[in-house]
Amino acid sequence: MKNIVVTGGAGFVGSNLALYLQEHFQGSHIIVVDDFRKSGFKNLEGFKGDVIASNVADGEWIQTVKTKKIDAVFHIASITDTTVMDEKKMMRDNVDGFRNILDFAVEKSAPVVYASSAAVYGSFNRKMREEDGGKPNNIYGFSKWVMENLAETYYSKLKIVGLRYFNVFGPGEYHKGLAASMIYQLAIQMIKGNRPRMFKWGEQRRDFVYIKDVVSATVGALSAKENAVINVGTGKSTSFNEIVEILNKILNSGRKPVYFDNPYGFYQNFTEADISKAKDIIGYEPKYTTALAIEEYITKYLFSRDAESRAV
Ligand SMILES: NC(=O)c1ccc[n+]([C@@H]2O[C@H](COP(=O)([O-])OP(=O)(O)OC[C@H]3O[C@@H](n4cnc5c(N)ncnc54)[C@H](O)[C@@H]3O)[C@@H](O)[C@H]2O)c1
């Protein structure tokens, strides 16, 4: 029996990961640690493991698993709303929470894979390479950057890999509301028969990566050649206007965008991952282009029964 901890396991990425591990790692016991601040049990439909409803920054959850052998820790929990401005709370939950995870992993001699973010890059207009990080535009990106710095101080004691996810989309993100992916927001507006709304002039470009590739990369990171921080994207950016074109094709519609002013000064207008390091260190090769993934997302999930239960 392998005990695997997934923090943030009720959220978008964490629930997809927990359900994947349950299906593919036969005989494993998945322990989700999540305080359900935003997410809900619907993301974990069909889950057969344990759930500890706790804030990772409090540390009380560690008592619950103190006597257990732990084989791996996926630390996915985080405040994920980039518009949250409470700096102390962001740092406490994201960074102190991670500190607890790292100390816990050292005690258990368990490898750690953790979620960082493309937000550590801030404003850029070319492909982002890992060494470009460290100029975040907001406190969310800063908290991820500090997590990476902290992780490095544990490199001699632990197997530890940080993943800079780019814009993840796919089933399981509906609970995120306005923090859900732009693809989700635009698709839902268009499926409801409305015109898609976006910031002027829709030329913002993001590296939109499908949840299934993100889960593969996350699991693959356990077998990384070395401790590292790695980009997880598709390697290609797509503009918001192009997303609408793709959606119009799939939905067989011709809806034109409505543009409005962007109120966020710290917005990332461009992200695109250089994924060569991910290929080298964890053998990561995305299976989906953004367009293919959108098609699967719409036809298999947003239009299915799943849409009313866990999926969207
Ligand atoms: N979705 C993306 O596009 C994206 C991009 C870059 C990085 N990330 C990172 O990936 C991870 C997962 O993001 P997501 O999209 O699944 O977000 P999400 O909000 O759906 O999931 C986060 C989960 O963590 C839980 N949580 C938050 N803080 C916690 C704490 N202190 N203790 C316990 N539980 C806590 C929440 O309840 C939620 O279930 C995060 O670390 C996020 O920063 C996501």
The DSSP H or E segment spanning 185 is helix 182-191
Are residues 244 and 204 in contact, defined by beta-carbon separation less than 8 angstroms?
Answer: no
pLDDT at 124: 87
As a whole number, mean pLDDT of residues 100-104 equals: 97
What is the set of domains in the chain, with CATH numbers? 2-171+209-235+268-287 (3.40.50.720)
Write the DSSP string, 117-151.
EGGGG-S-SS-B-GGG----SSHHHHHHHHHHHHH
As a whole number, mean pLDDT of residues 88-104 equals: 97
E strands present in 179-252: 197-199, 205-206, 208-210, 228-232, 238-239
pLDDT above 70 covers what percent of the chain? 97
Structure tokens at 75: 């630390």
Evaluate the omega torsion of the peptide bond into residue 61 and state whether it is cis, within 30 degrees of 0: no
pLDDT at 304: 66
> Which atom from ligand 1 is nearest to the alpha carbon of 165?
6
- C-alpha distances (whole Å) from 102 to each of 56, 113, 127 are 11, 10, 30
Band of the pLDDT at 81, cuts 50, 70, 90?
confident
Structure tokens at 262: 């962007």
Q: Which residue has the tokens 């074109």?
A: 245
Q: How far is the CA of 79 from the centre of ligand 1 (A)?
A: 6
- Express each pLDDT in 234-291 by its tens digit: 999 999 999 999 999 999 999 999 999 998 877 889 999 999 999 999 999 999 999 9
pTM for this model (two decimals):
0.96
Pocket test for ligand 1, best of 80, 173, 181, 297 (most atoms within 8 A of CB): 80
